[in-house]
A and B are shown apart, each in its own frame.
Chain A
Amino acid sequence: MNTFNALISASNVSVFKHQKSILKNIDIQINKNDFITIIGPNGAGKTMLLKCLMGFYKPNFGEIQKKDKLKIGYMPQSINVINTMPITVKNFITVRKKYDDISFKQVISEVDIRHLVDKQLSVLSGGEMQRVLLARSLLNNPDLLVLDEPAQNLDISGQLSFYKLIQEIYSKRDISILMVSHDLHLVMVSTKKVLCLSNHICCSGKPQQVAQDPEFISMFGKDMANMMAVYQHTNNPSHSDSNFLIGDKNN
């Protein structure tokens, strides 16, 4: 079997809920140093697929294999901050984590939240909260980072700097990334593979292939496909501002 080296491999996974098909015959394999972005309309089963792959939802059919001792860092879309609970950022990041001082300091400088560690969780802004959640998911040096619409609640400049950060983490660490995102035009040069989901896998492959796929165009429209094509042609060193969009690690 060639799945031996995969971090996670799912074959023929199907999920039904209330007689409705949520996921249908999904095959997916996540390998070392992969950067996979899952896109798809609302209700396409994106979050369910993540839950199945991480092992906290058991699919009705199919098989999911995980590599032994695989360390997964999970960053949810958001958390409901409990105002009645006094808790500092440092306390939150390290709750139930085995860590040492050096790796903690490394992570907080990596996501640039040194100035936040002693603040209460309840006073953070949306962008600060996302960085804190990212820091938490990185603390135990995961092999695989799973991100569920990580920039959903940010404004456009927040999204840009967040994806830049993700790109930096991907290029500096020996890590695989599995991400659900709607902001395909912002992540598509970093991402190595795009998986277009609408209960079943409509199409998958390199971003530029997917953008030309008829199923992709019918789902997202020509404008999105054109926009993706434009972003690919910005691969030009003079555009230093948009440098992070260019995944030099992959080229």
Chain B
Amino acid sequence: METKITDPFILRGILAGIAVALISGLVGCFVVWRRMSYYGESIAHSSLLGVGLGILLGTGINFGIIVVCLIFGILFLWLQQNKILSTDTLLGVLAHLALSIGIIVISLNRIKIDIHAFLFGDILTVSSNDLWWMYLGVILVIILVSINWSSLLLVTIDEDLARAEGINPIYINLLLTTVLTIVVAVSLQIIGLLLITAMLIIPAATSRRLAGSPQQMALFATLIGIFSVILGIFLSVEVDAPSGPSIVIVSATLFFLSYLFGLIKKD
């Protein structure tokens, strides 16, 4: 069957992709600044358990993802306080445990879902109802990050400086966990859980070379993300490839191009 760009499912895919880009660039800047990419990756991994439980218990996958990812994030923040194991070791244990339980839950109950779609993203899975949920998540993330913007920045720069000015870094870490969880839930269908971290990291890293302030970096990352998503989805329709990898290839190309221009400019 011939597909056209104006087909409703492609439009829905693009709208879903823009939703992802609107928040992944913003939240991705904090992931880059705070070197939290493995944490983001781990939350994304645990989302498969949320998918399995959401279907199994009939609560819907979005609800399942939010609950499981939040529990995972809070459990991690709590265990991290003990400082017996290093952060990456702890994440390595928890993330893969959650991924494994997720796959077992899905296979044991013979739930008829396409795991492939959750791993790499599939625009065909996006319904109009999903779009409403996604944009609700987008609005929530933008509001949460905007009102706490300066506190987030200060805690990122120096936790003691923030404490001295009356901010409790624990609340800021919880806030970041919450927005990361929402980003994962919004991104899962289009990007796929294996590639969500790429959408957090690559546009922000590309934007770093162009920006002069944190706000600019977040804005440029968002614009780069939107461009990557639109071009990536066209590409995936054109060659009939999964949407997630197509989007990531476009944004990584932009990253290398910006790097190249940076080198040329220096000479």
Interface residue ranges, A against B (CB under 8 Å):
51, 54, 56, 72, 74, 76, 79-80, 82, 84-88, 91-92, 95-96, 120, 136, 146
Contact = CB atoms under 8 A, between A and B. Distances in A.
B213 A95 contact: no
A96 B212 contact: no
11 contacts: A56-B164, A72-B164, A79-B157, A87-B213, A87-B214, A88-B212, A92-B157, A95-B157, A96-B167, A120-B212, A146-B164
Interface of B: 32-33, 150-151, 153-154, 156-158, 160-161, 163-165, 167, 205, 208, 211-214, 216-217
Contacts of A80: 158
A82 B212 contact: no
B13 to A, nearest CB: 31
A56 to B, nearest CB: 4
B44 to A, nearest CB: 21
A146 B217 CA distance: 33
Contacts, number: 58
A136 B165 CA distance: 11
Nearest to B162: A96
Contact of A76 (B32, B158, B211, B214): B158
A82 B156 contact: yes
A80 B156 CA distance: 10
A51 B160 CA distance: 9
A76 B156 contact: no
B154 A95 contact: yes
Contact of A95 (B153, B163, B212, B216): B153
Contacts of A88: 212-213
A113 B156 CA distance: 24
Contact of B157 (A74, A82, A146): A82
A165 to B, nearest CB: 20
Nearest to A81: B157
Given A86-B208, A95-B150, A79 B161 contact: yes
A54 B166 CA distance: 10
A86 B217 contact: yes
A68 B150 CA distance: 25
A95 B158 CA distance: 12
A234 B165 CA distance: 39
Contact of A74 (B32, B161, B213): B161
A79 B158 contact: yes
A121 B33 CA distance: 14
A56 B208 contact: no
Given A84-B32, A96-B165, A76 B217 contact: no
A70 to B, nearest CB: 12
Given A95-B150, A96-B151, A86 B214 contact: yes
Contacts of A76: 158, 160-161
Given A72-B164, A76-B161, A86 B212 contact: yes
B155 to A, nearest CB: 10
B150 A96 contact: yes
A126 to B, nearest CB: 16
A91 B213 contact: yes
B213 A86 contact: yes
Contact of B164 (A74, A82, A91, A95): A74
B164 A85 contact: no
Contacts of B156: 82, 85
Given A85-B217, A96-B165, A74 B160 contact: yes
Contacts of B217: 85-86
Given A76-B158, A76-B161, A79-B161, A86 B150 contact: no
Nearest to B217: A86
A51 B161 CA distance: 11
B83 to A, nearest CB: 11
A95 B211 CA distance: 17
Contacts of A51: 160
A220 to B, nearest CB: 27
Contacts of A84: 32-33, 205, 208
Contacts of B205: 84
